């Protein structure tokens, strides 16, 4: 991916207030590039969900955005607890978020399902106790 | 893209090329070139922040001067609701209206009255089928322009009804023609008394494609002293009774518009940076179920506009007392005809002529832009990343892209050249 335009963002795990910053910055960059509004919208929704997941479950992590002429790939990587059962986590409404997080209005169990809905491809690589890497793919010339 | 006429201008005599406005512009539309600030017209949203923060009075809004008005015509004053918050110890709105008549205006049509119609119409609009939620207020022209330039997916959530000042112009003109059949349409001129430069731009710009019902836009600051003089000697007559109620007056301050809808949950925010944050959050879909969103570029609402003479918070306080002296919403009580007129239907001439659409600043060639941004990224890594603004660009990243695009030279970076001796 050496030809790709690459941006890196640290997702700060200490604060909910900062969650979403990487997706807002990414949105600005994509708009500057002239990416279509529909794709920008999908990316900002999916990436925001990913950032929130990293803050809730994994004390933050790294967000990397790779842009080529025909594909945008977002890689969200954390060294959190990993996802025990991916199939279950993909079900709408399934959540392992603690009560205090839900009280904030997060952890409704829509994170992963929304990320899948708002991406062309989603790849999850996770290992319990090691961490999770999620790739979101967008094809620009559909 | 048609030309957008901005109302914020720079006085090169007074501009010292300091970086205050550069760093405070919320959309990074300002650069300092040859020691003077320059505004990129494609990106400027007319929020007036640069006017507010300039220490040298080098930024000003252009508007129609009171002295340019031809009082031999049938001039109708359209006072913004915020005007009524500009006076100390004002017991009744009548004094302001009489003062305007004494200045020589043939009629006064309160924008607050039109705002009450907009409230009615927004309720009808929101009760319609398949209306995307949350519905976003289109009353603040800065917010409308910001959404059109930067938030493409929110465009169809803007209320498609004319903003109060524009509707006021339309209704005022219709009333004049009805009451004075002898007048020719070209003899009737509507004069909006504005608290903000964005409304000047709105009325002066043909880009939007609307029929413009406001002929002149004056600054509240400019009208203020003359009006105050007249008010001192004015005795309110029968024509000076306010036609708007507290619902209309509350539009001058944040939440006034949203609260008057009295239906679904609403969110309100003011101050341009807060507005941008809310729009970003809305676009990410993270704010949950909200029926209506009211956003104002100025805090605490239009009373905080840069063309309003009083401190906006003091003006809000005064308006709160004044609201107690008027009925809630006169058009409910007296203007039954207008209510009938709106029964379940929004007349097409009360709505925006064209749908709100995304207008990206330029149409970038993605491949070219990618190459430029790649070069800029590589360059940005070598820059000090202090975002000091001394080069004339708001951030090191913006500077890097300006250099790649040939709009700035690498030598402009003062910090870097110092580091290199």
Provide the β-strand partners of residue B53: none
ipTM above 0.90, yes or no: no
Shared domain check, B114 and B181 = yes
- Find the closest chain B residue to A27 by CA distance: B280
Name the domain boundary from B350, B379, B406: B350
Residues 101-130 of chain A with CB under 8 A from chain B are 105, 114
Q: What is the pLDDT of residue A1?
A: 47
In A48-87, the residues whose Cβ lies within 8 Å of chain B are 48, 52, 67, 69
pLDDT tens-digit readout, A3-61: 889 999 999 988 888 888 999 999 999 988 989 989 999 999 999 999 999 998 999 99
How confident is the model at residue B4, as a pLDDT? Answer: 64
Output the CA–CA distances (angstroms, integers) from residue A19 to A12, A25, A48, A122, in the order listed: 7, 12, 7, 21
Task: Give pairs for B12-20: CB < 8 Å, separation 24+.
Answer: B12/B36, B12/B58, B13/B58, B14/B56, B14/B57, B14/B58, B15/B56, B15/B58, B16/B56, B16/B58, B17/B392, B18/B55, B18/B56, B19/B388, B19/B389, B19/B390, B20/B53, B20/B54, B20/B55
Domain assignment present for B28:
yes
Cross-chain CB nearest to A41 (options B281, B283, B370): B283
**Dist. CA B107–CA B242, nearest whole Å:** 12
CA distance B40 to chain A (A): 15
What residues of A are in contact with residue B147 (Cβ under 8 Å)? none
Q: Does residue B235 sit in the same domain as residue B375?
A: no
The partner residue sitting opposite B284, judged by closest CB among A31, A33, A45, is A45
Assess if residue B220 is contained within a domain.
Answer: yes
Phi, psi (rounded to 5 degrees) for B205: -95, 130
In this prediction, residue B108 has a pLDDT band, given cuts at 50, 70 and 90, of very high
B152–A contact, CB cutoff 8 A: yes
The CA distance from B361 to the nearest CA of chain A, in Å, is: 9
Contact A23 B285 (CB under 8 A): no
Average pLDDT, chain B: 90
pLDDT mean over B117-126: 90
Domain count, chain B: 3
Q: From the CA of B224, how many Å to the nearest CA of chain A? A: 41
- pLDDT: which is higher, B147 or B359: B147
Please give the pLDDT value at position A95.
Answer: 85
Same domain, B246 and B171: yes
Q: Which residue has the tokens 């609402």?
A: B301
Any CB–CB contact under 8 A between B285 and chain A?
Answer: yes
Residue B336 located in a structural domain: yes
Q: Which domain does B5 fall in, by range?
A: 1-61
B406 interface with A at CB cutoff 8 Å: no
Q: Which residues of B touch A38 (CB under 8 A)?
A: 153
- Here the CATH number for the domain that contains residue B22 is 3.30.70.20
Q: Average pLDDT of B400-411?
A: 94
Report percent pLDDT > 70 for chain B: 92
User: What is the per-residue pLDDT for B61?
Assistant: 87
Instruction: Please report the pLDDT score of residue B334 as a whole number.
Output: 45
Test B358 with A37 for CB contact under 8 angstroms: yes
Handedness of CA A47, B362, B159, B321 (dihedral sign): positive
Q: Output the CA–CA distances (angstroms, integers) from residue B12 to A12, A90, B33, B106, in the order listed.
A: 43, 60, 11, 39
B272-276, B370-374, B404-408: segment of lowest average pLDDT: B370-374
C-alpha span between A54 and A115 (Å, rounded): 13
Comparison of pLDDT for B100 and A69, the residue scoring more: B100
CA of B145: how far to CAs of A25, B6, B401, in Å? 20, 12, 24
Residue environment code for B65-100, b if the CB has 16+ CB neighbours within 10 A, otherwise e: ebeebeeeebbbbbbbbbbbbbbeebebbbbbbbbb
The lowest-confidence range among A3-12, B107-116, B329-338 is: B329-338
**In the prediction, which pLDDT does B52 show?**
93
Predicted pLDDT at B376? 94
Short-list B421, B83, B372, B393, CA closest to B222 = B83
Q: Can you give the CATH number for the domain in which B394 is found?
A: 1.10.15.40
Looking at chain B, the whole-number percentage of residues with pLDDT higher than 90 is 71
Query: Are residue B113 and residue B239 in the same domain, yes or no?
Result: yes
> Which residue is listed with tokens 């009255």?
B113
Question: What's the pLDDT tens digit per position in B215-269?
Answer: 999 999 999 999 999 999 888 988 899 999 999 999 999 999 999 887 789 999 9
Please check the confidence at residue B336 and state whether its pLDDT lies above 50.
Answer: no
Q: Are residues B37 and B166 in the same domain?
A: no
Do the domain assignments include residue B174? Answer: yes
User: Residue A33: its chain B contacts at CB < 8 A?
Assistant: 364, 366, 369-370, 373
Within 8 A of A32 by CB-CB distance, chain B residues are 364, 369, 373
Q: Between chains, do A69 and B153 touch, taking CB under 8 Å as contact? A: no
Give the minimum alpha-carbon distance from B287 to chain A in angstroms, rounded to a whole number: 9
Q: Is the peptide bond before B300 cis (omega within 30 degrees of 0)?
A: yes
Query: Could A44 and B284 be called an inter-chain contact, meaning their C-beta atoms sit closer than 8 Å?
Result: yes
Q: Are residues B17 and B32 in the same domain?
A: yes
- pLDDT above 50 for B186: yes
Nearest residue of B to residue A42 by CA position?
B284
> Could you tell me the pLDDT band of residue B333, with boundaries at 50, 70 and 90?
very low
Chain B residues near residue A69 by CB distance under 8 angstroms: 366-367, 370
How many degrees, rounded to 5, is the angle at CA B28 between CA B26 and CA B34? 130
Q: Is the pLDDT of residue B335 over 60?
A: no
Residue B19 confidence class, pLDDT cut points 50, 70, 90: very high
Per DSSP, B351 falls in state B
Integer angstrom CA distances of residue B417 from A84, B378, B384, B393, B410: 54, 18, 10, 16, 9
Across the interface, of A6, A33, A67, the residue whose CB is closest to B364 is A33
Residue B298 lies in a domain: no
Let me know whether B35 and B116 are in one domain: no
Beta strands in A13-130 (DSSP E): 60-67, 71-78, 121-127
Query: b vs e for A36-59, b when ≥16 Cβ sit within 10 Å of the residue's Cβ?
Result: ebebbbbbbbbbbbbbbbbbbbbe
Same domain as B38, residue B90 = no
Q: Is residue B194 a contact partner of residue B219, using CB atoms and an 8 Å limit?
A: yes
The C-alpha atoms of residue B161 and residue B230 are separated, in whole angstroms, by 35
Say if residue B172 is in the same domain as residue B43. Answer: no
Read off the DSSP letter of residue B195. S
Q: Average pLDDT, stretch B290-298?
A: 97
Are B384 and B415 in a shared domain? yes
B405 vs A: CB within 8 A = no
Token code pair at residue B221:
């600051």
A-B contacts (CB, under 8 Å): 57
Per-residue CA distances from A124 to A48, A77, B72, B126, B128 (Å): 16, 10, 74, 41, 42
Question: Cα separations (Å) of B369 from A71, A139, B363, B366, B374?
Answer: 15, 18, 10, 5, 8
Residues 6+ apart with CB under 8 A from B70: B189
Q: Kindly state whether A24 is in contact with chain B, defined as any CB-CB distance less than 8 angstroms.
A: yes
State the residue for tokens 């559909």. A142
What pLDDT digit, counting tens, does each position of A59-98 carry? 999 999 999 989 999 999 999 999 999 999 998 888 888 8
Residues of A in contact with B377 (CB under 8 A): 5-7
Class of domain A5-139: alpha beta
Q: Which CATH number goes with the domain that contains B194? A: 3.40.50
């Amino acid at each position: 991916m050496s030809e790709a335009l690459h941006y890196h963002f640290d997702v700060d795990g200490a604060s909910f207030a900062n969650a979403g910053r990487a997706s807002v910055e990414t949105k600005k960059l994509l708009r500057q590039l002239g990416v279509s509004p529909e794709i920008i919208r999908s990316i900002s929704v999916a990436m925001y969900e990913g950032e929130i997941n990293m803050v809730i479950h994994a004390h933050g992590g790294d967000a990397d955005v790779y842009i080529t002429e025909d594909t945008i790939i977002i890689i969200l990587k954390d060294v959190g607890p990993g996802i025990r059962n991916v199939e279950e986590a993909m079900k709408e409404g399934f959540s392992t978020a603690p009560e205090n997080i839900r009280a904030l209005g997060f952890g409704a169990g829509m994170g992963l399902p929304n990320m899948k809905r708002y991406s062309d491809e989603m790849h999850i690589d996770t290992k319990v106790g090691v961490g999770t890497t999620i790739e979101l793919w967008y094809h620009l010339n559909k | 893209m048609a030309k957008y006429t901005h109302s914020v201008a720079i006085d090169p005599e007074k501009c010292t090329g300091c970086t205050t406005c550069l760093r405070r512009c919320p959309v990074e539309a300002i650069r300092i070139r040859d020691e003077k600030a320059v505004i990129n017209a494609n990106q400027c949203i007319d929020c007036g922040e640069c006017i507010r923060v300039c220490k040298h009075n080098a930024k000003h809004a252009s508007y129609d001067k009171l002295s340019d008005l031809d009082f031999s015509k049938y001039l109708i004053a359209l006072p913004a609701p915020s005007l009524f918050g500009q006076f100390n110890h004002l017991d009744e709105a009548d004094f302001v209206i009489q003062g305007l008549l004494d200045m020589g205006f043939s009629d006064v049509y309160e924008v607050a009255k039109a705002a009450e119609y907009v409230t009615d119409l927004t309720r009808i609009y929101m009760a319609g089928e398949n209306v995307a939620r949350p519905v976003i207020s289109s009353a603040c022209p800065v917010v409308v322009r910001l959404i059109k330039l930067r938030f493409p997916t929110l465009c169809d959530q803007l209320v498609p009804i004319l903003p109060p000042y524009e509707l006021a112009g339309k209704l005022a003109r219709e009333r004049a023609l009805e009451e004075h059949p002898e007048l020719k349409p070209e003899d009737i001129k509507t004069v909006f008394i504005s608290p903000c430069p964005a409304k000047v731009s709105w009325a002066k710009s043909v880009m939007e494609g609307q029929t413009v019902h406001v002929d002149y836009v004056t600054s509240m600051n400019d009208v203020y002293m003359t009006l105050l003089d007249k008010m001192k000697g004015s005795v309110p007559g029968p024509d000076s009774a306010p036609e708007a109620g507290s619902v209309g007056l509350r539009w001058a301050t944040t939440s006034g518009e949203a609260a008057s809808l009295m239906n679904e949950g609403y969110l309100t925010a003011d101050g341009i940076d807060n507005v941008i944050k809310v729009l970003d959050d809305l676009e990410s879909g993270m704010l949950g179920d909200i029926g209506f969103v009211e956003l104002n570029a100025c805090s605490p609402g239009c009373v905080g506009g840069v063309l309003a003479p009083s401190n906006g918070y003091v003006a809000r306080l005064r308006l709160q007392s004044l609201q107690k002296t008027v009925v809630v919403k006169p058009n409910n009580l007296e203007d039954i005809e207008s209510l009938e007129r709106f029964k379940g239907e929004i007349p097409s001439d009360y709505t925006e002529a064209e749908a709100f659409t995304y207008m990206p600043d330029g149409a970038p060639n993605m491949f070219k832009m990618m190459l430029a941004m790649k070069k800029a990224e590589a360059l940005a890594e070598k820059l000090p990343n202090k975002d000091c603004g001394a080069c004339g660009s708001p951030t090191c990243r913006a500077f890097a892209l300006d250099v790649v695009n040939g709009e700035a030279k690498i030598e402009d970076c003062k910090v870097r050249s110092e580091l290199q001796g």
